[in-house]
A and B are shown apart, each in its own frame.
Chain A
């Protein structure tokens, strides 16, 4: 199986109004194989969403990009908007966090699904369009698809809106599906349903799925490969099933702060401090100020992503042995 996404040395900076730079992504390297599912996990402000939107080259104007992103071997960072039309939607489908904000409130679901198909596939026959749309709505688990097809976004619940968003994302049969925090604004029960749906769809359509989330447990429900991002850098990349597999102290800390539901503790474990200043680049481990296993050396040199035991880890002293 070939690589569908290759990211090399990707740097994204945002320029603020007072001409300061925020280094959102720093020399990011990432390879994703065809048909693979990965989850990108990290706190807010660490660059997860920047990564997602740079994959479809949809960064705002004040962003400066360098490095390369190849999708199916083709560079996308130097393409203009017109050339990107065959990437956005056709190659990569995307689901955003707030379904209510992503759907246009003055158009019916029918118009919003059909618009994409009309534009990209140049189909204008109403009957075919309707059949395609209804099939898509059924595929994302909407039972009374005919009624939803005619309704407007405000008439639907959050869960249904998100299903419609997924249907639109799939309407051009993309090979890659990016879900950026798809369940954060939804209830727990609906969240479980949406994750189940994504799980089903990725198998049926053989999708390469990228889930972006801050919830490690949610990531585990969908994906075996977990990529942990901290302060714009990948700090751990590997197959993680539980807390035991974590090799970077940050990943372990992320597991620990999720409250346990087996043993009642009446205590919440915390990671002290906050993200480092993203306006500066430090020549040291970015996590060192918050790390429980910090060593003097960690504050002196910065590190590359190197293999520790099974996973690739950016740490001098990983939790599991590094062979010397």
Chain B
């Protein structure tokens, strides 16, 4: 299988602010991380908060610079000089409310990136928006609405539609369902699976919910304090966790079947 993303020796430090005469502390948010994602896979990045999951994701999307190491997208390093490069990687954030512009109608939210990247307009654009809404399970009546009129699940669908509008090859989903209700969670996750299978989109899925990961991901990366503790095929990690930390995570699932 072809590798879509390769990450080598990635390091990222944050400095805390100096307080009076004290020296500033260095926090190693990402510490020498290696991994790669195969094309067409769903890869899950798991760990507690503060383990560096989001920092890695932000580095990949170009939202954060990194100190050393390299990120290769389909064999070439990402520098984000061209529109085309930005288009291929899309990001879905946890907080749906803050990801949508409250003053823009859903119609504009979805069509704006299409206009910019593909330079199509009129009837063709119209059809494209309808097609995207249909793909995420919404109908045309949503086009005239504003984000505050929608529920959390519907907003997340709009965010997904916007990400899909650019025909990305890799979608980074950073805790996309943790603010949603259990029943809505399942609907959104099923949508991700369908996109993965039908449209062959590769996903980097960040979460701390190990029940979701087991059903969703092909490959799991477990992180702790900026380092990778363990990585491998999902089945293998769940049936034979090598590190104590992974084991502890599995025990912590509510009503965990791993306890006995």
Give A residues with C-beta under 8 Å from B: 43-44, 158, 187-192, 195, 214-218, 220-221, 253-254, 257-262, 264-271, 274
B190 pairs with A189, CB closer than 8 A: no
Residue B242 interfacial (CB < 8 Å): no
Closest 9 interchain pairs by CB? A217-B255, A217-B254, A192-B252, A259-B215, A257-B186, A268-B190, A218-B254, A187-B48, A188-B252
Chain B min CB distance to A169 (Å): 22
A43 touches B183 (CB 8 A): yes
Flag if A266 contacts B252 (CB, 8 Å): no
Residues B214-229 near A (CB distance < 8 A) = 214-216
Using A188-B253, A221-B255, A267-B193 as known contacts, say yes or no to A258 and B211 having CB atoms under 8 A apart.
Answer: yes
Q: Is the CB of A267 within 8 A of B212?
A: no
CB pair B190 A264 closer than 8 Å: no
Is B92 interfacial (CB 8 A cutoff)? no
Q: Given B212, B234, B249, B254, which contacts A215 in the complex, CB threshold below 8 Å?
A: B254
Q: Which residue of A lies closest to B192 (CB)?
A: A268
With A188-B208, A215-B254, A221-B255 known as contacts, the answer to whether A268 contacts B151 (CB < 8 A) is: no
A187 touches B214 (CB 8 A): no
Range, interface on chain B: 35 or more
Please, which residues of chain A bring their CB within 8 A of the CB of B214? 259-261, 264
Given contacts A258-B182, A274-B184, 20 further A-B contacts (CB under 8 A): A187-B208, A188-B208, A188-B210, A189-B248, A195-B254, A217-B255, A218-B254, A257-B183, A259-B212, A259-B215, A260-B215, A261-B210, A261-B211, A262-B257, A264-B235, A267-B193, A268-B186, A268-B189, A270-B190, A271-B186
Q: Is the CB of B119 closer than 8 A to any CB of chain A? A: no
Assuming the contacts A217-B254, A261-B238, A261-B257, asked whether A270 and B183 have C-beta atoms less than 8 A apart, the reply is yes
10 examples of A-B residue contacts, CB within 8 angstroms: A43-B182, A217-B253, A254-B182, A257-B182, A257-B183, A259-B215, A260-B214, A261-B211, A264-B235, A268-B186
Q: Tell me if A274 and B186 are in contact (CB < 8 A).
A: no
A187 touches B215 (CB 8 A): no
Q: CB distance B251 to A220 under 8 Å?
A: no
Q: Name the A residues within 8 Å of B254 (CB-CB).
A: 191-192, 195, 215, 217-218, 220-221
B139 at the interface (CB under 8 A from A): no
> Most A CB atoms within 10 A — which of B186, B210, B238?
B186
A265 to B211, CA, bound (A): 12
Task: Give min CB distance, A201 to chain B, whole Å.
Answer: 18
Once the chains bind, are B181 and A270 in contact (CB under 8 Å)? no
Report whether A188 and B48 are in contact in the complex, using a CB–CB cutoff of 8 Å. Answer: yes
B223 CB → nearest A CB, Å: 12
Q: Once A and B bind, how many residue pairs between them come within 8 Å at the CB atom?
A: 96
Residue of B nearest to A269 (CB): B186
Residue of A nearest to B251 (CB): A192
- Across-interface contacts of A270 in B (CB, < 8 A): 183, 186-187, 190
Point out the residues of chain A lying under 8 angstroms from B181, CB to CB.
43-44, 214
B123-144 interface code vs A (CB 8 A; 1 in, 0 out): 0000000000000000000000
Write the B226-258 contact mask toward A (1 if CB under 8 angstroms, else 0).
Answer: 000000001100100000000011011111111
User: In the bound complex, do residue B215 and residue A189 qualify as a contact, i.e. CB atoms below 8 Å apart?
Assistant: no
A215 to B235 alpha-carbon distance, docked (Å): 24
Query: Chain B: interface secondary structure?
Result: helix
Considering the complex, give the chain B residue whose CB is closest to the CB of A190: B48
Main secondary structure of the interface of A (DSSP, over half): loop
Question: Which A-chain residue is minimally distant from B185 (CB atoms)?
Answer: A257
- Taking the closest CB of chain B, its distance from the CB of A49, in whole angstroms, is 13
Please report the C-alpha to C-alpha distance between residue A227 and residue B247 in the assembled complex, in whole angstroms.
Answer: 32
Indicate if B24 sits at the interface (CB-CB under 8 A). Answer: no
Give, as a whole number of angstroms, the nearest-CB distance from A162 to chain B. 14
* Docked CA distance A296–B39 (Å): 48
Q: Give the chain A neighbours of B210 by CB distance below 8 A.
A: 188, 261
Question: Would you call B153 an interface residue if the criterion is a C-beta within 8 Å of the partner chain's C-beta atoms?
Answer: yes
Q: How far apart are B44's CB and chain A's nearest CB, in angstroms?
A: 12
CB distance B257 to A191 under 8 Å?
no
Residue of A nearest to B214 (CB): A261
> What's the least CB distance linking B173 to chain A, in Å?
14
CA distance A217 to B216 in the complex (A): 19
B49 at the interface (CB under 8 A from A): yes
A187 and B193 contacting across the interface, CB-CB below 8 Å: no
Q: Whole-angstrom distance between the alpha carbons of A43 and B256 in the complex? A: 22
B209 at the binding interface (Cβ < 8 Å): yes
Please give me the residue from chain A that is nearest to B235 by CB atom: A264
Could you say which of A254, A261, A274 has the most chain B C-beta atoms within 10 Å of its C-beta?
A261
**Chain B 5-64 residues near chain A, CB threshold 8 A:** 48-49
- Residue from the list A191, A254, A267 in contact with B252, Cβ < 8 A: A191
Cβ–Cβ contact B48 & A220, under 8 A: no
Closest residue to B49 on the A side, CB-wise? A187
Which residues of chain B come closer than 8 Å to A191, judged between CB atoms? 252, 254
A197 to B: closest C-beta gap in Å: 14
Residues of A close to B48: CB separation below 8 A: 187-190
